[in-house]
Structure 1
Amino acid sequence: MSENPCQLAKHDVKPFCLLVLLYFLQGVPVGLTFGTVPFLLKSMTKNTTFTQLGVFTMATYPYSLKILWSPIVDSIYSRKTGRRRSWIIPVQLLSGTILWILGVAVSKDLIFAGVDESYQSGTVPQNTSPSSLNIPSLTVCFLSLIALCATQDIAVDGWALEILSKESLSYASTAQTVGLNTGYFLSFTIFLTFNSADFMNKYIRTVPLQHGIVSLSGFLKLAGLLYLVVTLYIALFTKEKPTKIPALPTKKSDEKIGDLIDYNYDTNPAHQSLANVYRSFFKVLKLPSVQSLMIIHFFSKFAFQCNEGATNLKLLERGFKREDLAVTVLIDFPFEIIFGYYVAKWSGDSSDQTRPGLSSNPVFSNRIIRFLVGKTGTLTPWLWGFLGRLTAAFLANVLIAKFPVDGEITRGYFCMVVFQHLLGSFMSTVQFVGICSFHTQIADPVIGGTYMTLLNTLSNLGGTWPRLLVLSMIDRFTKYGCVLTKKVENDIVTEASCSAAGGDWVTIRDGYFVTNLFCITVGCWLYFGFIKKKAQQLQKLPPSSWQCH
């Protein structure tokens, strides 16, 4: 076997790259739904409320509900095609087709009317309002697309447990991080960058033009075509399971006749039946360890919802330029990819108490470190990531409060924005890779797809259910008032009546600050009152505590 268990084995490089490609495809619709469309909705009309944006976030719900149909994906398949490829191939084919159809519909203004017109002219069409954009219909379209991505995710998660050997299994989370982040980055940051005439004119072109390089409809068609090409490759040039070949010994003492690379797939058809998968699923839910992990997942992301769901949109609302916001994310992306790799190694190292960890660093006091994250273990990176995201959420309040009154973005303020984004995204990556690595280690391969989907769904659900609530709180706690130059007899209660009276409709209290501080306070209370202690207990449990057979 490999001499260093933290290194990706050579025979796993090709399966690893395949996983990165599959997760990359998932990241494209995810980036459109989680990032691009809300950004375009807010930039096309600033009258779009955070509550309306919260309605669109319902399109992300399938990622938090996929556990309902994951046993079906795990147990119904064609033996000839393979347990995982039976779902990956048709789902990707349908996803690519839908992306292409959406591109055609956008180009003809059948959906998201005006977004391509805005791209071509460089200005927002007149009479654009939240109602004219038909947010409910837009939500249904992208909800269907995300439902397919969620189904694909179930199959790919299960496949990751089977095509990587046990010595490289921790790199499944790295493949997911690199692939999803790259797809998300392409469909969110890169798209908005090349869609923006201002960015192109400011940083790329020598002769200014009124439009960017790619429209939303064009990008959707291109993404659909990419899906179809990769699906063709999966269908023609991949196999369901790797061939068990003799392991290459690293030392003479390791040589054994018939020593095979140890893969994690199950070969018993009885274990893969629908009835058995559902039975095993409910057995998993009854495990005390899983129930404790469920509670952690359900509440742990509440603290970050205001920062991660509204800070960028609030910057945009206050006058931060779209092209400058794109630059901050461009700077952030390489760090996420690089750190994603090393966080996976960190997670693997943390499970070995004999290896030097953070507690051996002489710069820090052991007492302070134990107070913050407890004893070193598999979940140590995840705990550090939680604290880092709390810090980023607090800095977001400072960032919005210090936004220049005159709208002139200084170099110092821009650096503050970059730092806050880097901290938040890096710590989010730390948590994501850390918890995915933990999931991979504890998942029972007999129902690998369903088990991984259950754990990942619970993690996704913790970031989904509070989003609409938190965004609605921003609007609820925001208070507006009218500033008049002269006294009027009638009460001014609306923006229209204020304008008619010659006044300015201003924000007296920004609900963003109230909501974000509330989320941070709840997060601190949960972390030091429950999450840290329970995580310490879970990482010490033996593998048998997570198995249902």
Structure 2
Amino acid sequence: MTSHSSTSNPKPRRRPAKKNGAATVDSDPMNPRAVATSLESIEIVPRTPRTPATARRPHGHGGRTPDDVDEVELSLLGEEERRAAAADLTIEEEQEYLAQADGKRPFSARDKQAVVLLIILYLIQGFPLGLALGSVPFILREHLSYSELAVFSLSGYPYSLKLFWSPIVDSVFIRSVGRRKSWIIPMQLIIGTTMLVISYKAEELMANPGQHLYALSFAFTSLVFFSATQDIAVDGWALTLLSEDNLAYASTCQTIGLNTGYLLSYTVFLALNSEDFAKKWGIPRLSLGSYLFFCAFMSFAVTIWLFFIKEDKETSEDIGIKAVYVTMWEICKLRHVQVLLGVHLLAKIGWQASDAATQLKMVEKGLGREDLAITVLIDFPFEIIGGWLAGKWSRGDKPLRAWIYAFWPRLGLTLLATLMVYWFPKPPITTGFFVSLVLLTIAQSFASTIQFGGMSAFHTRISDPVVGGTYMTLLNTFTNLGGTWPRYFVLKGVDYFSIATCKIDGASLSVKAQECVSDHGRAACQKVGGECITEQDGYYIVSALCITFGVLSVLFFLIPTARKLQAVPTREWRIYS
């Protein structure tokens, strides 16, 4: 394989960040966070283009970059445009410049073909993500405790950590195959093969997941890892597939493709997998094995198609892998960046119990899979509206204003969701309660979208255009981690604070919570003629702890810090003078 780096030289304007996970709200109103229980913790943010530039002086190195970084700079702009961008333009000047730069963009036949290709590639990526982060946890909840689900939840981590190997994907490739196809083709073959192998064992694994928990977790973690690697390569390919005037459509392609694949694997599959849904509509039940076989076939078919698509050669300067990692370190050394990363890691704790366990609890109490699917599908168009409003409200010199204003409503909705779990009626669910559930889901997603749009706009404003790709990817990685790392501890905490008892013939035999709240634990209790009774549900305690932490952090850290950060001059966020 050859070490070679990708560059692009788009027109002199800063690209908005895309959403992991994944498509920023200010550039594309569609937001992958339309699905509440999976990509809730993963913003899908395609990486901003990186291009070489002539040397500039970084702060604090006496005019030289460490390890010859000065020889290969990462930039979005040409030389003259970089000087202008680094001159700390005012908001008004930036808006005037962007308005002048915008014009009618021709949409050629080549661009249309590129859009179709990108949507299909992102669609393939969405299949395993929808299973690993959406539908499979719901199916497993019928058999596993929350502590065991916490182990499986680790499968989502690779998508939030892809920053750490993205420079390798950008720099190493087989020249005869193509920079991007060198990674996309093998990744899709591996994804298809993995899903094909799992499909033959799926029913056996899902019938007794407690005994195969680590095998399931490893399989789906691998799928997410390979999908994340494929995403890195596809993001880079979009920079040369699309013309410079239509680069912004890369965000749209990812949102449409990834959301479609994700929703097929999550809501549509959950509905078709439900026995009640199949009986109601008189159709065969779709098993997990059959769906995995379909996804594997689609992955192989698209991969074969790629062999007939020629990848344009990129004429670009070499960017060493080490240089990219050094640049990341230089960004992390900035004081304001360190504070912002701390905000990202703490900002989402307040509603983590709701994101991780609320819908699982509702399913546990009798919410049907088909009802859940309908709820999410109804919510999707409102995500589009929320994305448009988020972009509108995040303009100007206070892009975090929308992020700040949405904090209190989101914490309040989290409390309301906890109360709805407490008041959840015995099946069948009344129409009034179901409508209330739909309205709650829409309100939560709307607040989430508004926050995401505000933070994405802030990232776009502060990112140094000289190192735009690295800067944006670093910030969005920590945004993703803020919603990912607490999930494991939340799910473990639900079981830790739960108290359950196995009642046997008038006497009581204490059983550990993690046993009596799982399917095999309840079965063990039934074998001795008993019944598991939950005396204390740890979900409410964990939710209360998260909400309390959220309120305190908002009052004393998050909002005051956010206001200070958005008041910091743009030049203070730059690592190059």
Q: Say whether the fold is shared (TM-score over 0.5).
A: yes
Distance between the aligned counterparts of 2:105 and 2:427, measured in 1? 52
Q: Any idea what SS the aligned residue of 1:507 has?
A: strand
Which range moved further: 156-165 or 183-192? 156-165
CA contact (8 A) 2:410 2:448 kept: yes
CA contact (8 A) 1:185 1:333 kept: no
Which residue pairs with 1:402 in the alignment?
A: 423
Aligned residues: 467
Residue 165 (structure 2) pairs with residue 69 (structure 1): yes
Distance between the aligned counterparts of 1:348 and 1:237, measured in 2? 38
Q: Amino acid of the residue matched to residue 75 of structure 1?
A: S
Q: Amino acid of the residue matched to residue 411 of structure 1?
A: T
Distance between the aligned counterparts of 2:261 and 2:481, measured in 1? 21
Distance between the aligned counterparts of 1:304 and 1:40, measured in 2? 23
Cα deviations by residue, 1:239-284 (Å, 9 ceiling, x for unpaired): 4589xxxxxxxxxxxxxxxxxxxxxxxx7524x2212222212112
Cα deviations by residue, 1:159-213 (Å, 9 ceiling, x for unpaired): 55666678766665554444333222111101111122211333x33xxx6x41x
Which residue pairs with 2:259 in the alignment?
A: 181
User: Aligned pair in 2 of structure 1 residues 228, 505: CA closer, same or farther (>3 Å)?
Assistant: closer
Counterparts of 1:265-284 in structure 2 under 5 Å?
269-270=317-318, 272-284=319-331
User: What is the TM-score when the length of structure 2 is the normalising length?
Assistant: 0.71
Which residue pairs with 2:82 in the alignment?
A: none
Q: CA deviation at 1:49?
A: 0.7
Residue 505 (structure 2) pairs with residue 426 (structure 1): no
Q: Amino acid of the residue matched to residue 148 of structure 1?
A: F
User: Aligned pair in 2 of structure 1 residues 286, 305: CA closer, same or farther (>3 Å)?
Assistant: same
Residue 170 (structure 2) pairs with residue 143 (structure 1): no
Residue 388 (structure 2) pairs with residue 342 (structure 1): yes
Q: CA deviation at 1:296?
A: 1.6
Q: Any idea what SS the aligned residue of 1:319 has?
A: coil
CA contact (8 A) 1:5 1:167 kept: no
User: Aligned pair in 2 of structure 1 residues 3, 451: CA closer, same or farther (>3 Å)?
Assistant: closer
Cα deviations by residue, 1:484-537 (Å, 9 ceiling, x for unpaired): 885x5xx63236898699765322221111111211121122223222233334
Which residue pairs with 2:22 in the alignment?
A: none
Residue 126 (structure 2) pairs with residue 27 (structure 1): yes
Residue 432 (structure 2) pairs with residue 415 (structure 1): no
Q: CA deviation at 1:314?
A: 0.6
Which residue pairs with 1:193 in the alignment?
A: 271
Residue 103 (structure 2) pairs with residue 39 (structure 1): no
Cα deviations by residue, 1:415-449 (Å, 9 ceiling, x for unpaired): 12111222223333334454445445555566555
Q: Amino acid of the residue matched to residue 339 of structure 1?
A: I
Distance between the aligned counterparts of 1:62 and 1:36, measured in 2? 18
User: Aligned pair in 2 of structure 1 residues 426, 22: CA closer, same or farther (>3 Å)?
Assistant: farther
Cα deviations by residue, 1:305-334 (Å, 9 ceiling, x for unpaired): 211111111111112222222222232233
Question: Which of 290, 293, 301 is equivalent to 1:229?
Answer: 301
Residue 231 (structure 2) pairs with residue 153 (structure 1): yes
Distance between the aligned counterparts of 2:350 and 2:309, measured in 1? 44
Residue 429 (structure 2) pairs with residue 333 (structure 1): no
Distance between the aligned counterparts of 1:3 and 1:398, measured in 2? 47
Q: Any idea what SS the aligned residue of 1:508 has?
A: strand
CA contact (8 A) 1:84 1:240 kept: no
Q: Any idea what SS the aligned residue of 2:510 has?
A: coil
Residue 338 (structure 2) pairs with residue 291 (structure 1): yes
CA contact (8 A) 1:7 1:168 kept: no
CA-based RMSD: 3.5
Q: Any idea what SS the aligned residue of 2:190 has?
A: helix
Relative contact order: is structure 1 or structure 2 higher (C-alpha 8 Å, sep ≥ 6)?
A: 2
User: Aligned pair in 2 of structure 1 residues 286, 3: CA closer, same or farther (>3 Å)?
Assistant: closer
Which residue pairs with 2:552 in the alignment?
A: 525
Which residue pairs with 2:191 in the alignment?
A: 95
Distance between the aligned counterparts of 1:198 and 1:394, measured in 2? 31
Q: Amino acid of the residue matched to residue 388 of structure 2?
A: Y
CA contact (8 A) 2:188 2:300 kept: yes
Question: Which of 215, 219, 239 is equivalent to 2:291?
Answer: 219
Distance between the aligned counterparts of 1:186 and 1:167, measured in 2? 32
User: What is the TM-score when the length of structure 1 is the normalising length?
Assistant: 0.74
Q: CA deviation at 1:78?
A: 4.1
User: Aligned pair in 2 of structure 1 residues 352, 448: CA closer, same or farther (>3 Å)?
Assistant: closer
Q: CA deviation at 1:392?
A: 2.8
Identity %: 42
Distance between the aligned counterparts of 2:308 and 2:278, measured in 1? 39
Counterparts of 1:379-528 in structure 2 under 5 Å?
379-404=400-425, 406-440=426-460, 442-443=462-463, 449-481=469-501, 488=507, 492-494=509-511, 504-528=531-555
| Structure 1 unmatched ranges of 5 or more | 115-127, 243-266, 354-376
CA contact (8 A) 2:194 2:219 kept: no
CA contact (8 A) 2:105 2:246 kept: yes
Distance between the aligned counterparts of 1:76 and 1:407, measured in 2? 56
Q: Amino acid of the residue matched to residue 526 of structure 1?
A: S
Q: CA deviation at 1:394?
A: 1.3
Q: CA deviation at 1:413?
A: 0.9
CA contact (8 A) 2:382 2:446 kept: yes
Distance between the aligned counterparts of 1:227 and 1:17, measured in 2? 16
CA contact (8 A) 1:85 1:240 kept: no
Distance between the aligned counterparts of 2:148 and 2:106, measured in 1? 49
Cα deviations by residue, 1:371-401 (Å, 9 ceiling, x for unpaired): xxxxxx3333444454443233112111111
Distance between the aligned counterparts of 2:189 and 2:317, measured in 1? 27
Q: Any idea what SS the aligned residue of 1:269 has?
A: coil
CA contact (8 A) 1:177 1:340 kept: no
Q: Any idea what SS the aligned residue of 2:424 has?
A: coil
| Structure 2 unmatched ranges of 5 or more | 1-10, 12-97, 517-521
CA contact (8 A) 2:402 2:450 kept: yes
Q: Any idea what SS the aligned residue of 1:493 has?
A: strand
CA contact (8 A) 1:399 1:416 kept: no
Q: CA deviation at 1:409?
A: 0.9
Distance between the aligned counterparts of 1:426 and 1:238, measured in 2? 41
Distance between the aligned counterparts of 2:447 and 2:118, measured in 1? 23
Q: CA deviation at 1:8?
A: 9.0
User: Aligned pair in 2 of structure 1 residues 93, 533: CA closer, same or farther (>3 Å)?
Assistant: farther
Q: Amino acid of the residue matched to residue 410 of structure 1?
A: T
Cα deviations by residue, 1:40-92 (Å, 9 ceiling, x for unpaired): 1123x2xx110000000111121233232222123223456554444333323
